[in-house]
Structures are given as C-alpha cells and as structure tokens.
Amino acid sequence: MAVLNVLLLGNPKLHEVSHPVKIHDVSNLKGLIKDLHDTLMDFKRRTHAGRAIAAPQVGVMKRIIYLYIDRPIVLLNPILSRKSRERMVVWDDCMCFPDLLVKVKRHRTCRIDYRDTNWNKCELSLEGDLSELLQHEVDHLDGLLAVSRAIDQHSFALRSQKRFLTAHQPWKALRPSKGRASRQ
C-alpha cells in the first residue's frame, strides 16, 4: 500500500471532528488500515517513536485508530469511559509536531470501548502509558491536539532540548521529589 503524508501542526483539518464509521464502511477499510500501518511503521523507523496513529492525522476524517505495540489493533468508533480522577502529567509527543513536546495532564486509567474490523464490540482497560496514548489518539478524532491541552505557557519544549526536562524519558509521568508538594 502506501506511506501517507501526516498532516502537520497548523493544518486546519487537524481541528475537524471525525465522522463515525458505519457498518457498511468496514469492507472498504482494508486499504486505509494498511496505509495507516505503513505510515506508522515508516515514522517509527525514521524517528524511533510512534505507537499509534489516528485516521485524521493523514486527512481521513473517520473515527479510526491504528495501534501497534506488540500486535496491530484497529479501533473503530472508540469511546473513552471510566476515566480515573487521578491524573498524571506527561510530556506528550505527536506525529503532527514531531520536534515538539507538550506537557499535559491525562487520566492515569481509563477504559476504551470500540468496534473491531469484524464489527464486534470490544473494550480495553488502560493505565499509565497506554491510557495516555489512547486519550491522545481519541483527541485527534475530536479535532483536539495536545498543544490545546498544554498545562501552561511553559509547557512546550523542542525534542532536542529534552535534556532540560528530566534525565530520562520526559514524556513519561513526572513524579514530585520526596519532601516537596506536588502542584499537579
């Protein structure tokens, strides 16, 4: 199939709300799903990052997420529920702004209900990194970008400057130091 162009920050299409997939659409999704796979794998090969992609990131305004961690999972019409009250602060990254990190708050746990490509109802209970990841991808379906969820005006950093954020993996949850109050 094809590696598709990922829309970049500034493209107004990224702010559009996606349309639900209908049961009669499913038979026509095979090519798009392969293209999402190829696009994600190409991004991962070039940047050593990328675990999921939402269809709107390549200009297809359908509620589809392609997730690949240890195996592919296609989520049609995903809905987040059971979002925990507990939040975590993460440095979020995105294929649409690959050189930028944005500090956001995400629910530590949640559940996602969706349809698979056989139109079966499915659900996943998520926590930590996966919870953050799927919240990020569902935001794309709703026309929201991490830059819109930034905690404050100091919540932006270039990936090349991540050494100033934390010693390791700035996109993971930040933990307050012992003996200091957390402002989260």
Number of residues assigned to the chain: 184
Active-site residue 137, yes or no?
Answer: yes
Q: Token pair for residue 122?
A: 């499915």
Residue 109, classed as helix, strand or coil, is strand
Which of 16, 123, 127, 137 does the annotation list as catalytic?
137
Q: Token pair for residue 97?
A: 């702004």
Q: Residue 59 — left, alpha, or beta (φ > 0 → left; ψ -120 to 50 → alpha)?
A: left
Which residues, other chains included, contact 2 with Cβ-Cβ below 8 Å and sequence gap of 6+? 35, 38, 39
Q: Which residue is it, tokens 């038979």?
A: 27
Annotated catalytic residues are: 137
